[in-house]
Structure 1
Amino acid sequence: MADSKSFPRVNISHSVNLPDLSKAALYRRAPELGPKILFFSGGTALRHLSETLIEYTSNSIHLITPFDSGGSSAVLRKAFHMPAVGDLRNRIMALADRSITGNPAVFELFAYRLPKDASQEELAARLGRMLTGDDPLVRHIPDPMRKIIRTHLRFFEQKRTDAFDLRGASIGNCILTGGYFNYNRMLDPVIYLFMKLVEARGVVRPIVNCDLHLACQLENGRVLLGQHLMTGKETAPIDAPIARQWLVANLHDPTPASVRIREKTEVLIRQADVICYPYGSFYSSLLANLLPQGVGDAVAATHCPKVYIPNLGHDPEQRGMTVAGQVERLLETLRAGCTRSCRTEDLLRFVLVDSKKGRYENPLDLTAIRKLGVEVVDVPMAREDEPGKADSRRVCELLLSLT
């Protein structure tokens, strides 16, 4: 048999209907044969989309930012000097099989957070019962999964000091952290195991396996160190538009840090049937994933449709930005990760908008977007009950139609 690498490769162009409901129905009948739609994202913005997507494909690819510096992840990162795992856990849970054929007891444990109003002694005692298998959340999980989970929790407990604040701690994050130490500070093995335990439908990976943070400079000159200062969730919203963004080694030094994606991440990108730059926090979720070197090159080398879906509503990070401005910044960030010049269509081909119902913060100038060399597709995407948010099923059908 001839080696598949010796087969000739040809590019085929064809027209599609948006959405192509017959194609979506076909994938829904056999999701195990569904396409590899790749997302650069983070946070919880794609939770509903991911929960819907597994009805159509078990093969989606999710490259997630590990640069979160807020919430439960911030406590773990400060204590253990590790990448953020909260967004990874969120996406794995969104892709999990929640039916009776999955592992609902494991899902329940991974989704559980310790109460915020209990004392540290009470929380430590609760964690101790989980370690021994006496806590109901652990006891109801069948072996050997129960033993695996307890082992990873034990690694976490061995690393935890008395100063570690357990209030509001995500047990799923603690299990991932224990696995991170069990596998010699590598995330991929424990993520793979985590996904098997909850029977997640897809592939989830951090864009890089490094302990780095986000930094940005506002147009007024102010420098912010840390993702949590950009989002407007834990602090006041930014008071000026973001002028530029980069990676740093810690939250005390604005010196830029450089990192390159691994070969295995390049392979995942090149396998994509569609590449999607989705809605969500524009800088800290989307563009953050594009900062490592090699992302732009891998995207440009992948022969598939590339599509940007802007937020239909408010995003504090996009202060003062039009959709055309977002497209321009997206292309700039991708090109910065390229070692050679490439065409706009190699990085981004389509921008999906809903001009009739979307609640864009600034006027939607379709002509300005087209002048950047991309094709605008104006289609219904907004939710009927909340037009500032996307309808997950409509977005799934649109992305599936591009395959």
Structure 2
Amino acid sequence: MFVVGIGGGTGLPVVLRAIATAPGVEATAIVAVSDNGGSSGRLRRSLNMPAVGDLRNCLVALSENGSLVKNLFQHRFSKGDVQGHSLGNLIVAALYQQTGSLAQALDTAGNLLLLKGRALACTEVSTALCAMFQDGTVVRGECEISKAGKQIECVWLEPAGPKPSPGVLEAIHSANAIVLAPGSLYTSLLPNLLVAGVANAIRESGAAKILVCNLMTQPGETDGFSASDHLRVVESVLGRGTVDFCIVNSEPKTRLWQHYRAHGSEPVLADVDVIRAMGAVPVEASLATVQRRTIRHNASRLGRVLLRIARTTARNRAALQAA
């Protein structure tokens, strides 16, 4: 079974860890590259290349190598000229300089990490994410969007419709399941869908299209959003009725709920009736876990749900074709 995960550097690695080790599953990650902050932003500005930080996290999530190599890739320097840089970012950047191709750089890094699957940049074009807010103001840059703290009306890439990286459209067309990962809705997931041909390829795909909804709202990005609001935003790009399944958390309250609430974040309401009315099948499951005082999706539980959906859908569609 071939599963494609689409997203950024926080939620997508959880999806990859959830499915990549399952028997008979081949996973490919399609990853956003518009981040302009931190180590990735510095490398973008100095080397004129796409952001690699989210890609690094996905490479590590797919790695079958021992903890030493993975830890080295995630090592962040604390002193000197390289302060703030992750070693993995520097390795991928060096490989990019040597080859002139981000796809080749990622494949070579993948060989170092013994990847079970593949990580692809959504595009090799160095793009900027832009947003218009509901008050009409416009900002350019992923970090600037997050800092603005305003309700987002829409986002776009500059330059518009960048060419997808080699293998991206082919992976989508070949997929048995396409997983739209949790994470920053506007700044991690949507940039992938705005790359030329990606939204159309997803619409045309016969794969099960699964949206994994966030557990908590994100201040300054999805304030007050329900699960159906996440679905609405995704389908504003993909087209109404494109998503087949929407996975939502059935037990939103954890011991950190009040802590998150104090920082402007609330559990995402699982408004399953609205989701159903929009044409998607809501799938409720207890998915929340706490890791280092952060609410995250439980990878093993999420993996079971995703694989059940993917395998059931594949069997049903095979039966229909045979009839």
- TM-score category of the 2 structures, normalised to the smaller one: 0.7 to 0.9
Question: Unmatched 5+ residue regions in structure 2?
Answer: 258-265, 312-323
Contact 2:6–2:30 (8 Å) recurs in 1: yes
Shift of 1:270: 1.1
* Cα distance in 2 for residues equivalent to 1:379 and 1:48: 16
Tell me the equivalent position of 1:162.
none
Identical amino acids, percent of aligned pairs: 27
What does the per-residue CA deviation read over 1:55-85, in whole Å, with 9 as the maximum and x for residues that have no partner? Answer: 2156111000011111100111111111001
* Cα distance in 2 for residues equivalent to 1:112 and 1:384: 23
Tell me the equivalent position of 1:198.
113
1:306 aligned residue (197, 209, 216):
209
Tell me the equivalent position of 1:366.
272
1:392 aligned residue (293, 299, 315):
299
1:354 aligned onto 2:269: no
Tell me the equivalent position of 1:45.
11
Tell me the equivalent position of 1:113.
76
What does the per-residue CA deviation read over 1:105-142, in whole Å, with 9 as the maximum and x for residues that have no partner? Answer: 53343222222xx3x4xxxxxxxxxxxxxxxxxxxxxx
* Cα distance in 1 for residues equivalent to 2:85 and 2:196: 33
Tell me the equivalent position of 1:219.
134
- TM-score of the aligned structures, taking structure 2 as reference length: 0.84
1:261 aligned onto 2:164: yes
Tell me the equivalent position of 2:236.
332
Contact 1:40–1:286 (8 Å) recurs in 2: yes
Tell me the equivalent position of 1:146.
none
Bigger proportion of residues as strand = 2
Tell me the equivalent position of 1:275.
178
Shift of 1:181: 1.3
Contact 1:312–1:387 (8 Å) recurs in 2: no
Shift of 1:94: 1.5
Which AA in structure 2 matches 1:107?
A: K
1:172 aligned residue (88, 104, 115):
88
Shift of 1:365: 2.5
Contact 1:49–1:393 (8 Å) recurs in 2: no
- TM-score of the aligned structures, taking structure 1 as reference length: 0.68
* RMSD (Å), alpha carbons: 2.2
- Secondary structure at the residue paired with 2:50? coil
Contact 2:132–2:152 (8 Å) recurs in 1: yes
Residues matched between the structures, number: 296
1:56 aligned onto 2:22: yes
* Cα distance in 2 for residues equivalent to 1:105 and 1:262: 30
- Secondary structure at the residue paired with 1:60? strand
1:86 aligned onto 2:86: no
Question: Unmatched 5+ residue regions in structure 1?
Answer: 1-34, 121-164, 250-256, 336-342
Shift of 1:93: 1.1
Contact 1:354–1:381 (8 Å) recurs in 2: yes
Shift of 1:201: 1.1
1:112-261 pair list within 5 angstroms: 112-115=75-78, 118=79, 120=80, 165-184=81-100, 186-231=101-146, 235=147, 238-249=148-159, 257-261=160-164
- Secondary structure at the residue paired with 2:225? coil
* Cα distance in 2 for residues equivalent to 1:395 and 1:301: 26
What does the per-residue CA deviation read over 1:142-179, in whole Å, with 9 as the maximum and x for residues that have no partner? Answer: xxxxxxxxxxxxxxxxxxxxxxx421222211111111
- Secondary structure at the residue paired with 1:389? strand
* Cα distance in 2 for residues equivalent to 1:365 and 1:52: 25
* Cα distance in 2 for residues equivalent to 1:55 and 1:369: 30
Q: Which of the two has higher C-alpha Rg? A: 1
Deviates more, 1:300-309 or 1:69-78: 300-309
1:286 aligned residue (181, 189, 200):
189
Query: Are the structure 2 counterparts of residues 110 and 262 from structure 1 closer, same or farther at C-alpha, using a change threshold of 3 Å?
Result: closer
Shift of 1:395: 0.5
Query: Are the structure 2 counterparts of residues 354 and 40 from structure 1 closer, same or farther at C-alpha, using a change threshold of 3 Å?
Result: same
* Cα distance in 1 for residues equivalent to 2:300 and 2:72: 28
- Secondary structure at the residue paired with 2:182? coil
Query: Are the structure 2 counterparts of residues 193 and 167 from structure 1 closer, same or farther at C-alpha, using a change threshold of 3 Å?
Result: same
* Cα distance in 1 for residues equivalent to 2:137 and 2:74: 37
